[in-house]
Every structure is written in structure tokens, then in C-alpha cells.
Amino acid sequence: MRYLIKFSPRFDLWKMSKVYVKAKPRAQKREVRQIDPPEGRTGELHFEVAVTEAPERGLANRAVLKALAEYLDMPVSRLSLVSGAAWRNKIIEIE
């Protein structure tokens, strides 16, 4: 997997409880990149995650969790999908 932007160390992941993800299923290649949060939402982590899996039977959701876990260098078991199972915009909780 190729990472476009290196993870910013200014955020302490152990204190973060949620990350916001825009998923891109059926992409040509897997990519994870950190994006700037929308105006007025500083202190939040926002990512764009492209996965090759189709959004069927939860395949893309599992691939998004796996790709994000690899990017953040933590086990997938620490991530859980809180909101957005059927949508591109997702909220993922870090346990």
C-alpha cells in the first residue's frame, strides 16, 4: 500500500476517540491520506481512504478499517465503525 502523506505526529492517537473517514470504494489502488479538517473542526483527524473492494456485504468497510489500522500502526481490533456503514462518510472509533 502506498501512503501519500505521512501521519502527522501532532495528534496523540491515544487521546483521540474518533476519526472521520471519507471512503472511496472500487478504487484502482489502495491509498490512505490524512486531509485537513473542515473549517472550525480543528483537533479532529480526517482521512481519505481508497480501497479496491466493492461496497458489497461489508467488504469495503472491512478493507477501510484494515487500511486505516495499517496506516496508524495499530491492530484492527482497536478500530470500530460507529457510523456510516452504508455511506462514504464514516466515523471510526479508536478503543
3-class SS letters over 39-60: CCCCCCEEEEEECCCCCCCCHH
pLDDT of residue 59: 96
> What CATH number is attached to the domain comprising 48?
3.30.1200.10
Tally Cβ neighbours within 10 Å of residue 74: 15
17-35 residue pLDDT tens? 899 999 999 999 999 999 9
Range of the domain at 25: 2-6+15-94
Q: What is the pLDDT of residues 68-78, one digit of tens each?
A: 999 999 999 99
Answer yes or no: is pLDDT of 12 > 90.
no
Q: How far apart, in whole angstroms, are the C-alpha atoms of residue 20 and residue 28?
A: 22
Q: Which pLDDT value is given to residue 5?
A: 44
Model confidence, pTM = 0.82
User: Total structural domains in the chain?
Assistant: 1
